[in-house]
Amino acid sequence: MFRKILVANRGEIAVRVIRACQELGIRTVAVYSEADRDAAHTHLADEAICIGPPPAKDSYLNVANIIAAAIVTGSEAIHPGYGFLSEDSRFAEICQHYRIKFIGPKPETIRAMGDKVQARQLAVKAGVPVIPGRDHIQSEREATAAAAELGYPVLIKAAAGGGGRGIRIVHSETELIRNLSLARSESEAAFGNGALYLEKYLEEPRHIEIQILADEHGNILALGERECSVQNVRHQKLIEEAPAPGLTPQARERIARSAMRLCAAVGYTSAGTCEFLVSRDGHFYFIEMNTRIQVEHPVTEMVTGIDLIKEQIRLAAGERLSIRQVEMRGHSLECRLTAEDPDRNFAPDSGTITRLRLPAGPGVRVDTHIYEGYWVPPFYDPLLAKIITHGRDRNEAIARMRRALREFVIEGVKTTLPLHQRLLEHTRFVKGDLSTAFLPRFLAEEYQG
């Protein structure tokens, strides 16, 4: 087992990783930007090193400074969390070069699954269903011909995209032509790669993902599914839950087996997530794989009793999977509380938290890095906290989430807390009648009302 791990991230995930390391008896090094000098993770870690000014490109994406911090502190491994460098194959290669263990899959696996076109092709070879589409769209002519064959509406997607970014829905040839160059430019700016592909747009599908753990000895385990259909217009998830309501045992088994088959085909190791869309007629399609820990991993932890961060660290240390069978107990929900204003198209907010009271009580967990007096910087992802509840069944998990949201008090910045409170009362949500169109429709109803 490692003696010291550097945590190359910030916010709640840095706190989460540091706590897991402490329970494993591993010393930790926090890195921070000048904007995060007083952040919670810097105080919880055994050591803390400033790696640059506030902009992420100069700090949390500054590979040279992070590697130097690891070397200077004698860190044997780096945990990248999610976002930032967590799916950067070049960073994983550099870690290898300096004999620092990257806590995640191999660089070649990250590269293969990070390219959405290549991931689709690998899925097809592994016998995993994918949404009908056309890879490597090079020209306007190719795009219009492919879209005509697929039938509108279609999605323009960035081959290097992820996290809901780099996606545009088009309903006609005129829209397609107008959006192609814009999508390519956006993809270049966001991912350094302008490659695009087209995919048939599914009307109101569910977004289901499978949590995977895989060791370096060929053992792969699926830890059930998560429902992630409640997303905003930018495809950012707001509420996740496990297990997915209304999914039949047969469908659950088929999707999980497909995820494990794909992981076996690419030689996957570490924690990872295979994401699928499930159509109204019950067909499921692979869309992408996230080669890292997910924001929503706590709901899986709550229903399985497995600490995914600890397992991820053990797997990186070369240990075999100690878990042979997973038993799902009860139901879990997660609400992502962000510093955003839903009334202004989820515009991010920043400022000082002037009052804070976190919820507690039976079946309630809060993963956060914020505190009263904390300054929410404008430079990074607006996630403030994850409120997670667990109950014997979905109704109890919802009831506990409603209570937790009522108890949660935060002042000083605009947040999505009021929106979450309203969503948890919506009839369709309570019934589990979910799709990726749920939140846009809900907001439209509120606006019309």
Positions marked catalytic: 292
Task: Quote the longest CA-to-CA distance of the chain.
Answer: 59
For the chain, report the end-to-end CA distance as a whole number of angstroms.
57
Query: How crowded is the C-beta side of 28, counted as CA atoms within 13 Å?
Result: 25
Distance of CA 121 to the CA centre of its chain: 22
Of 187, 198, 248, 259, nearest to 223 (Cα)?
Answer: 259
Cα–Cα separations (whole angstroms), residue 174 to 81, 143, 147, 191? 41, 12, 11, 26
Of the candidates 161, 163, 213, 156, the residue with the CA atom closest to the CA atom of residue 179: 156
| DSSP assignments along 338-365, one per residue | ESEEGGGTSEE--EE--EEE---STTEE
Report cis status (omega within 30 of 0) of the bond before 245.
no
**Dist. CA 297–CA 173, nearest whole Å:** 39
How many angstroms separate the CA atoms of 38 and 258, rounded?
44
C-alpha gyration radius of the chain: 21
Residues 6+ away with beta carbon under 8 Å from 183: 156, 158, 166, 168, 196
Alpha carbon distance 43, 65 (integer Å):
20
CA–CA distance, 351 with 374 (Å, rounded to integer): 8
Cα 54 to chain centroid distance, Å, stands at: 23
